[in-house]
Structure 1
């Protein structure tokens, strides 16, 4: 089992394409970020890396360490658990201190457990997530309001709701507010607005809900965040906005997926009712 580290996202996309295309829904996170950076829409800091894992010359896994927040968690796709152990040992040999990992549970857990053995610390679970793909869409009826694209004039509102989403999600899942690392940069939000990746549900001209999406990658669009301020919850706005957005995405020929926090029964119930079906479970871990 061998780990190869790359610094060029375009090179990563070329080398990992067979693996990414084999399951583009499962690969949605690294594929989306790599394409954004390869297209020059996002900076690629020198300390970031992209990972290829080979066994006997065969590509068996991929990952990355590109997160700009918290402990800069690595992200691992499906690969043998042994590969996670090999990665931890290679990073230790390189003098790189990895203290957080997210992605497919098996290799992520194996990797951080080995990091703990080598560097000290205790593996803690920040949260469990579930990846869903939309099957047959079931749209809710009789929800007041309509969907519109957010524009640059909505920058302050969108940025504030992106920030509030992470904190509210922590509280709804029973975690301390701020437990999940999150960062919203002004330049990134402007890029999202200019790329028509943020939608608002309005009632009588007042925005009451936000649905964000990511640009298509390998024919897949990942939805998120999905946020309704507390004062407007319980009226079906999230279901209606997500359904309307997804209908348009599917009509354009895209597969649609999203992640949910397994500790939040409300969001899981809403997405199941809309026709989302579970694909796999993922985890976010850190060393305490």
Structure 2
């Protein structure tokens, strides 16, 4: 196994996107991160890392890092994981964390602890779902509405609420720019009932045939009425009608979200986990 660090994200995208496209649902996060930076839609972070693993002439694995986020693994086997551990021990001994499909990240963490003596701590896991056919929820009042510039303040407030609840440790400094980007592209959707919006989500547009539903949020005073289910189901149907597959991620420990998404047709694909490292002494 040979690990190559590619300095150019544009060259990396050209090299790895066809491989990621072989399993586009499982590899959706990696593909989106690479594509957005290769296209210039998102600035490349200082210290970003683009790793391709080869077995002879064959590409067999991809990993990447967009600081301050952990090293992101793709759905790869133990031999590829071991090669990445060896490379990181020699080139990135202060690696703070790794994430990705649980089977790969668990194996990386185990080998990293053996190699470095690092202490391991796991964050809450996430679960990837896909949807190929919507089961519409019944009796949800209201209707879907595409968000516009006049909705920016409520969307910003709700995205802040989403981050506080779902990913409280996440860096939110880029949230306004992210919201503006999604609003400008028409990718933010609201569920409206009565006098105004009661739930929201945004969509990452299709890449390799897969669109990702994200940021599903209903403010506390509007919960328990099915608004999120109605919003997700309606947007998911639009995605399917446009010829793409739907994907989304949930907190494994949140039984409510896991239940409502499965009720409208989402099917679990795999779990993901992040491991943090303390006291590493790679060598």
Please give the alpha-carbon distance, in whole angstroms, between the structure 2 residues aligned to 1:255 and 1:217: 10
Displacement, 1:152?
2.7
- Unmatched 5+ stretches in structure 1: 171-177
Q: Which of these residues, 196, 204, 229, is aligned with residue 239 of structure 1?
A: 229
Alignment of 1:93-172 (within 5 A): 93-169=90-166
**Whole-angstrom CA distance in 1 between matches of 2:155 and 2:115:** 42
Question: 1:25-104, aligned counterparts within 5 Å?
Answer: 25-68=25-68, 72-104=69-101
Relative to structure 1, the CA distance from residue 48 to residue 96 in structure 2 (aligned partners, 3 Å threshold; closer, same or farther) is: farther
User: Secondary structure of the residue that 2:141 maps to in structure 1?
Assistant: coil
Q: TM-score, normalised by structure 1?
A: 0.89
1:183 aligns to 2:180 (yes or no) = no
Note the alpha carbon deviations across 1:215-252, whole angstroms, 9 max, x for none. 21111101111111111110000000001101111111
Displacement of 1:207: 1.6
Cα distance, 1:18 vs structure 2: 3.1
The answer to whether the Cα contact below 8 Å between 2:132 and 2:240 also exists between their aligned partners in 1 is no
**1:78-127 alpha-carbon deviations (Å, 9 max, x no partner):** 11223223223322312452111111112212223333344443211101
Structure-2 change in CA distance of 1:85 and 1:91 (3 Å): same
Matched with 1:173 is none
TM-score (norm 2): 0.91
Answer whether contact 1:32 1:215 (CA < 8 A) is retained. Answer: no
Q: How far has the Cα of 1:268 moved from its partner?
A: 0.6
Query: What SS does structure 2 have at the residue aligned with 1:214?
Result: strand
Deviation at 1:182, TM superposition (A): 4.3
RMSD between aligned residues? 1.8
- Pick from 249, 254, 262: which aligns with 1:259? 249
- The structural deviation recorded for 1:153 is 2.8
